[in-house]
Amino acid sequence: GAVVSQHPSRVICKSGTSVKIECRSLDFQATTMFWYRQFPKKSLMLMATSNEGSKATYEQGVEKDKFLINHASLTLSTLTVTSAHPEDSSFYICSARDSPWDTQYFGPGTRLTVL
Amino acid sequence: AQSVTQLGSHVSVSEGALVLLRCNYSSSVPPYLFWYVQYPNQGLQLLLKYTSAATLVKGINGFEAEFKKSETSFHLTKPSAHMSDAAEYFCAVAESNFGNEKLTFGTGTRLTIIP
């Protein structure tokens, strides 16, 4: 089956620093990647949708200058949390799909802790 | 707008007993429906999906779900629970608009298996 990886799996950073999270599709070309945020014991909240080579589309309430998304290749998307604060601490999960009628395949998630 | 309601944030069943996790959806167009499973500190794994073909969908690990349009439901079942089924389960809906299939997740149901 299709495999999506994320790196790092866990990251701890100081308040005010920036953190980059990578999402890779290992055995398929991901024309679209999605970034979700999951709060403890809560559901997944879609943050943004990115298509390869295009600017990401952000969901309402998500600050695009805070959460920078780059999808420069068919196998890699990055999420950069800029000037991170403790309230940005969360579990970030990406997903990827090859085509609009394809299933989304999810990565294992990245746990971000901002001190 | 689409939405998903999962009845029961926690469900406990005895090992070997029937598993029933409830999901009701709301969608303005024919929906695609999904069940995902999440183990602790991991991403989501697709259990099964409904995409307007057979109303009874069989998935991995012995799970199945039935799409009932009249009840706007997509409940997940497994005849005999196993200890390894203990996890968080998410129902999700995507409106089948070509090229714009964003997933909307329910709040999840934590399944506990009693030995």
Q: How far is CA B103 from CA A53, A105, A114, B27, B80, in A?
A: 22, 12, 28, 12, 29
Q: Which DSSP state fits A41?
A: T
Residues A109/B20/B111/A88 CA torsion (nearest 10 deg): 40
On whether any CB of chain B is under 8 Å from the CB of A93, the answer is yes
Q: What is the pLDDT of residues A70-98, one digit of tens each?
A: 998 999 999 999 999 999 999 999 999 88
Burial class (CB in 10 A: 0-12, 13-18, 19+), A23: buried
B62 in helix, strand or coil?
helix
Sequence-distant (6+) residues with CB within 8 A of A20 are A78, A79, A80, A81
In this predicted model, which residue has the larger pLDDT, A98 or B77?
B77
Contact present, A5 and A24 (Cβ < 8 Å): yes
Q: What is the pLDDT of residues B55-69, one digit of tens each?
A: 999 999 999 999 999
The predicted structure's pLDDT at residue B98: 53
Which residue's entry shows tokens 């998304």? A69
Report the chain A residue with the minimal C-alpha distance to residue B50.
Answer: A103
Distance CA A56, CA B7 (A): 33
Report the chain A residue with the minimal C-alpha distance to residue B96.
Answer: A101
Distance CA B47, CA B63 (A): 7
Q: How far is B55 from chain A (nearest CA, A)?
A: 18
Q: Which residues pair with B37 in a beta bridge?
A: B45, B89
Of B42, B98, B106, the CB nearest to A108: B42
Q: What is the pLDDT of residues B11-22, one digit of tens each?
A: 999 999 999 999
**Cβ contact (<8 Å) for B46 and A103?**
yes
